[in-house]
Chain A
């Protein structure tokens, strides 16, 4: 499976990358919103893991652009962010995110498992 991880914090991106690769997935990392859009088109991922506070374009904007694109809108997006306010969660889900996780609230294994579930559903 091809998973695009949009995460500007290198140290966190690295964990996600390692963990996902370990479970057999192919991973691309985007460190800002612009790159995220480009990779969404070129890398052709099965699932996108999206942070919200990002350089250049915020995760919300990325989500809007993806969902406005006839092809890209089909890719399931799971938000993994440290923004934990209710408003943020509702906003992201209303823009079409399939799930939302507050990073510090969950063990990495749990998040990897959730991503795995989305991937299975996506198939």
Chain B
């Protein structure tokens, strides 16, 4: 009896232990896979009442798709191959799943071989592991640099991004103080940042430059946090080299722009920016004082606000140049201020094209030349008066020397005749110079006596050559004419035509050394065809005057037809030239809507080309 009591007490003790165990305990029939009994903890884990447990099979307490695996583990445990089955998913009554490590042992009770399973819920532990794995993975796959550094200034851990960005091996990075990889100029700053980090414990952002293995410099933007407990610093960094470069470029261009803006604003000229339709987008300060209109009044308007004073053709020509031909346009014109007062201006308009070659903007620069014009007018008037006044004594010189040469005062001896002839010739030359002056004044005033009629250039060439006969003979020049048959008669003011031919031929004769040659050619040129590098804009007659003279230096090319310009070699050759001939010729040809240009080689000769439209100007 005492044995029985003892036995009962023992059973009671086992039950207490069984039920109060922290792990879940369950007994399952190996043969039938039926669950026989579970302890309190096991019931709580599964959510079943104790009496429900004994009706279940092993397969009921695991998720369906895990059953084959679980049964496999069950069999292995039953055979004693394994004692512990790890990470077994367990299905609660409510359908939720938790993970458990299951320890087992085979027992025999009531003649049945049973498996005693002890379940330990590992959900918490497993979660922590997964989390750690995720963090590690994050560390591994991050494209940002992630490092852990010790207070001694060495990296303890670096992620693959760090290796990839900097190009060093992990070993290289971990064995040297990281400061060694920092650009020397940034080392002190980086040390200071580290010290501050440790001192304050707060997150800090800073930027520094790292020297990569291949020598390139990278800008890194860091965020670092010191963990006093762990005695490490966690830091992430991002490569901001490109951003830095852009910032720098932006800063530089902003500074450039500032300079430009200052220059444009401060310019005394009027500077206007318009869109492709001519609507004003910007005007500088100069424009306000120029036109009298404020910025607000002109933005969004067109420049015709203070323009529109010129003939229609002027604006047509301007728009054709800048919009169709997409070329800069320069001209002098008259505009009108807000108060109605007209002013003379010189304008330069340039189209600004986009990558596709379409006009994006127009930039207009306008300069007030009213004062300059007034000076010009005064100058012109002075020269006009002077020219006229010079003519009177000149007439006396001419007439008297003519009378003397004529024998009106008695017969002259040979010497007297020679001397008076010299006076007479000089008088004629003087008259030519005065005529030239007056021509220029007329052209500049735009009031040239334009009497365009069909002109026989052939006859005119011959008579003009005849005018230079004295010099031609003296220098033994060979002068030839090449005239195309059935040459049309261009419409031009005969006086203009004569002066043009006279200048071109007398220049050729003047600047050609003894025994040289001068060839004057006349030919018809049809519209659109190209002669000597120029395309004729209309059916024209081309006058070319070729000489074997001293030539024109490349440096003088652009100045040759400017007023009073004289080429160095021309000065040496003929000190008395006035520098007006080609200027005037060019002006006259342009008045006739023609073109004047030349080709030349110093020491070999020059060919001047004058294109005169048959239809006139």
Interface residues in chain A, defined as those with a beta carbon under 8 Å from any beta carbon in chain B: 9, 11-12, 15, 18-19, 22, 53, 82-86, 102-105, 107-109
A–B pairs, 22, beta carbons within 8 Å: A9-B396, A11-B400, A12-B392, A15-B396, A18-B403, A18-B408, A19-B403, A22-B408, A53-B388, A82-B388, A82-B391, A82-B392, A83-B388, A85-B438, A102-B391, A103-B391, A103-B395, A104-B391, A104-B395, A107-B402, A108-B398, A109-B402
A68-B365 Cα distance, complex, nearest whole Å? 56
Tier of interface size on chain B? 10 to 19
- Using known A-B contacts A15-B399, A104-B431, A104-B434, determine if residue A9 contacts B406 with beta carbons closer than 8 Å: no
Q: Indicate whether B394 reaches chain A with its CB closer than 8 angstroms.
A: yes
User: Which residues of chain B from 117 to 138 have a CB within 8 Å of any chain A CB?
Assistant: none
Q: Indicate whether B449 reaches chain A with its CB closer than 8 angstroms.
A: yes
A87 CB to nearest chain B CB (Å): 8
Query: Is B398 touching A86 in the complex (CB atoms < 8 A)?
Result: no
- Using known A-B contacts A15-B400, A82-B391, determine if residue A105 contacts B406 with beta carbons closer than 8 Å: no
Query: Is A12 touching B398 in the complex (CB atoms < 8 A)?
Result: no
A78 CB to nearest chain B CB (Å): 16
A103-B402 Cα distance, complex, nearest whole Å? 13
In the complex, chain B residues whose CB is within 8 Å of the CB of A84 = 388, 391, 438
B556 CB to nearest chain A CB (Å): 33
A67 CB to nearest chain B CB (Å): 25
A41-B29 Cα distance, complex, nearest whole Å? 166
B44 CB to nearest chain A CB (Å): 126
In the complex, chain B residues whose CB is within 8 Å of the CB of A102 = 391
A83-B394 Cα distance, complex, nearest whole Å? 13
**CB nearest neighbor in A for B396:** A11
Q: With contacts A19-B403, A82-B391, A107-B399 known, what are 9 further pairs, Cβ within 8 A?
A: A11-B400, A12-B399, A53-B388, A82-B392, A84-B391, A86-B442, A104-B395, A108-B399, A108-B402
Query: Is A9 touching B402 in the complex (CB atoms < 8 A)?
Result: no
A41 CB to nearest chain B CB (Å): 28
A107-B400 Cα distance, complex, nearest whole Å? 10
Query: Is A12 touching B406 in the complex (CB atoms < 8 A)?
Result: no
**CB nearest neighbor in B for A16:** B399
A95-B449 Cα distance, complex, nearest whole Å? 20
- Using known A-B contacts A86-B449, A107-B398, determine if residue A15 contacts B392 with beta carbons closer than 8 Å: no
Give the residue of A22, A82, A83, A86 whose beta carbon is less than 8 angstroms from that of B395. A82
| Interface core residue of A22, A82, A83, A104 (most chain B CB under 10 Å) | A104
